[in-house]
Amino acid sequence: MNTTKRTEISSLGEFGLIDHITQGITPTNKETVKGIGDDAAILSFEGDVETLVSTDLLMEGVHFDLTYFPLRHLGYKAVVANISDIYAMNGTPKQITVSLALSRKFCIEDVEELYSGIKLACNRYGVDLIGGDTTSSLTGLAISITAIGTAPKGTAVKRDGAKETDLICVTGNLGAAYMGLQLLEREKIVADGKDVQPDFQGKEYILERQLKPEARNEIIEKLREENIRPTSMIDVSDGLSSELMHICKQSGVGCRIYEERIPIDYQTAIMAEELNMNVITCALNGGEDFELLFTVPIADHEKVAAMKDVRVIGHIVSDSMGLALITRDGVEMELKAQGWTPNKD
Amino acid sequence: MNTTKRTEISSLGEFGLIDHITQGITPTNKETVKGIGDDAAILSFEGDVETLVSTDLLMEGVHFDLTYFPLRHLGYKAVVANISDIYAMNGTPKQITVSLALSRKFCIEDVEELYSGIKLACNRYGVDLIGGDTTSSLTGLAISITAIGTAPKGTAVKRDGAKETDLICVTGNLGAAYMGLQLLEREKIVADGKDVQPDFQGKEYILERQLKPEARNEIIEKLREENIRPTSMIDVSDGLSSELMHICKQSGVGCRIYEERIPIDYQTAIMAEELNMNVITCALNGGEDFELLFTVPIADHEKVAAMKDVRVIGHIVSDSMGLALITRDGVEMELKAQGWTPNKD
């Protein structure tokens, strides 16, 4: 590697690194409407639709732990995570490519399991598996998925359109996937080699949110039916705080969200208590919920308030006011986001 | 992983595994013209162009060795390998996404080096970098690139159109990239920790073919100018034998190619002699040349014969005659292809 100068990636963090590396990258083809910096890129070739492209790379030991994550579920989740980005652009996913790198520990039956989950998700969301690459790796499993979708020209919703007084909405509930992960990690430590069958009774929901998440396609359809066009939208994959920061940064605005408005499931709250964790922190920073976070003009208040499974959690303010959570006792707390930093080598 | 039944991936090999896993996968969206099974998928959204999508996943220790492969070159080559697939569909690459997984051994300067090569290739081929994913890995570097291109509706060239009596053509020369790799591997063993500067004089060409390959976009343009529409086309990434097998299998035909017609550079021949290897075997099975292999109707013979940097190496025969190489002394040898089998874990 570089021996003359060495700046650790951790000094910038994930988002800092991406900003740094992609500086000065400007599309030159007329067909590229929007490049780096959103859930998906927007391409416009011909006709009245735009093409949306989103991609993810998942690494064993970083993004998933096969000691408790069944391969079938992993395949399903990997697809959902990608097409969720297409929905978050207000688009419809149409195709995916799947690339796998497999080490020798995997056998054909394993690959079949993984693909059965991939195919199940494809069927569930009406997406075609159109190609990919299958290769070997020295250690572990790597999965790279690219999702392709469409949206009628000009209807894709980016992260940069939130305006002062817009309402901030979120679907479903938050923190459940993260709590499911904590539970699985705890049982892994408890079991550690012993062949005990953990008791997950009463915790089925948080486990399902971690192991078999769904994308919120029905919300996208409902928004269209109700004639609500979000001013900005993103899916909650890295945690609410992190996603709010993306929207606010790219829209040049600030925000206020209210602790008491953040939707949390009963099982999530119970699990947080069991683990002695602050449930709001989990909801703010726990990722992989794949809920949709979006902003709408205040004029749409009645319409979104009446929508099933959508909660107004706050509003957009001016840039100078920053990003804050108002706690139940009225205290303003600055929102902070976390990205990844590299693991051991 | 699976403990009830375990069939080693090596029992099927790469192509067998892909066939096995993708069995029964049929596109259901009207926008998917061609899914799995070619250099790129073909999508048709609206208007008079089709969208082409191709993807690759490169793993450190399997696809590249950073002890002698500079990161800048790696970035360039990774892009070239992908857009070469778009050209091999008779298309024009327009955009790429790049996903990286990085272990702690990589610093920001390394990522800059890698991206400088990626950007250089993007500029050289007029391609926009439109997104990706940057994440961490436990060990080593993983690079996943997806290339998106276009072709006027109905002009994409697949692998399945070769017909009896068609001529088999190949661009440039073969085996050079493989010989460059052998040279680098040899010097690595010789140097092994010692800080010696190897002497590569007279071997610059094979090194460049390995370290900084180019895609054959100018051939695609030339074919268009000459009004030659190949009946099938593929890029030589896994070796001539392997690519010929793809074309013949998907077209339901056989082939005859002639040893004396296979284009080999002087430096490739010298290096093979030095290493005591059969140069024709290297040309048949050495990959990463990124030359184009295509078939044209026999009526185009004069036109392709007159084209610079294109060589007619044989012709298509009926399926029942199989795939064979005719040696200089007139012996017919059956062609065999190699895929990967998984590495150690």
Q: Dump pLDDT digits (tens) for A281-334.
A: 999 999 999 999 999 999 999 999 999 999 999 999 999 999 999 999 999 999
How sure is the predictor about A339, in pLDDT bands with cuts at 50, 70 and 90? very low
How sure is the predictor about A337, in pLDDT bands with cuts at 50, 70 and 90? low
pLDDT of res. B110: 94
| Pick among B14, B96, B110, B146 to test the A interface (most A CBs inside 10 A) | B146
Residue A252, Cβ density class (10 Å: 0-12 exposed, 13-18 middle, ≥19 buried): exposed
pLDDT of res. B341: 39
> Diameter of chain A by CA atoms?
60
pLDDT of res. B333: 93
Residue at B122: amino acid letter: C
Note which residues in 218-247 of chain A have CB less than 8 A from chain B: none
- For the segment(s) A10-152, the CATH number from 3.40.50.720, 3.30.1330.10, 3.30.1540.20, 3.30.70.580 is 3.30.1330.10
A54 touches chain B (CB under 8 A): yes
Angle of CA points B232, B233, B237, to nearest 5°? 150
Helix axes A13-22, B108-125, angle to 10 degrees: 40
A97, B134: Cβ pair inside 8 Å? no
Average pLDDT of the segment spanning A52-65: 94
- Would you state the structure tokens that stand for residue A227, as one six-digit string? 């004639």
A55, B146: Cβ pair inside 8 Å? yes
Note whether A256 and A326 are within 8 A (CB).
yes
- Which residues in chain A are classed under CATH 3.90.650.10? 167-334
Residue B226, Cβ density class (10 Å: 0-12 exposed, 13-18 middle, ≥19 buried): middle
| Pick among A45, A65, A106 to test the B interface (most B CBs inside 10 A) | A45
Burial B141-180 (b: 16+ CB within 10 A, else e): bbbbbbbbbbbeeeebbbbbbbeeebbbbbbbbbbbbbbb
Distance CA A2, CA B319 (A): 53
**Of B1, B45, B134, Cβ closest to residue A150:** B45
Q: What mean pLDDT, rounded, does chain A reach? A: 91
Identify the residue with better confidence: A200 or B143.
B143
How sure is the predictor about A42, in pLDDT bands with cuts at 50, 70 and 90? confident
Q: Is A81 left (phi over 0), alpha (psi -120 to 50) or beta?
A: alpha
pLDDT of res. B246: 93
- Which residues in chain B are classed under CATH 3.30.1330.10? 11-152
Q: Which residues pair with A33 in a beta bridge?
A: none
B163 to chain A, minimum CA–CA distance in Å? 25
Q: What is the mean pLDDT of each run of 10 residues along chain B (345 residues)?
A: 75 81 82 83 84 94 94 97 95 93 94 94 93 91 95 91 98 97 88 72 95 97 95 95 94 97 97 94 93 97 96 97 95 75 37
B76: Cβ–Cβ under 8 A, 6 or more apart, which residues? B117, B118, B120, B121, B212
A135 touches chain B (CB under 8 A): yes
The CATH code of the domain at B11-152 is 3.30.1330.10
pLDDT at A344 > cutoff 70: no
- Which residues in chain A are classed under CATH 3.30.1330.10? 10-152
Residue at A41: amino acid letter: A
pLDDT of res. A3: 56
Q: How many CB pairs under 8 A join A and B?
A: 322
CB contacts of A342 in chain B (<8 Å) are: 102-104, 106, 136-137
pLDDT of res. A345: 36
- For the segment(s) A167-334, the CATH number from 3.20.20.140, 2.130.10.10, 3.30.40.230, 3.90.650.10 is 3.90.650.10
pLDDT at A341 > cutoff 60: no
Which residue in chain B is spatially nearest to A33 when comparing CA positions? B130
pLDDT of res. B340: 43
Distances (CA, A) of A76 to A68, A115, A213, A218: 15, 8, 8, 18
Residue (of B135, B340, B225, B9) closest to A14 by Cα position: B135
Distance CA B159, CA B174 (A): 20
Residue (of B261, B263, B209, B259) closest to B237 by Cα position: B209
A344, B60: Cβ pair inside 8 Å? no
pLDDT of res. B337: 61
- Would you state the structure tokens that stand for residue B68, as one six-digit string? 């002698």
Distance CA B124, CA A148 (A): 25
Average pLDDT of the segment spanning A337-345: 44
Q: pTM for this structure? A: 0.92
B332 to chain A, minimum CA–CA distance in Å? 32
Burial A288-309 (b: 16+ CB within 10 A, else e): bbbbbbbbbeeebeeebeebee
pLDDT at A30 > cutoff 90: no
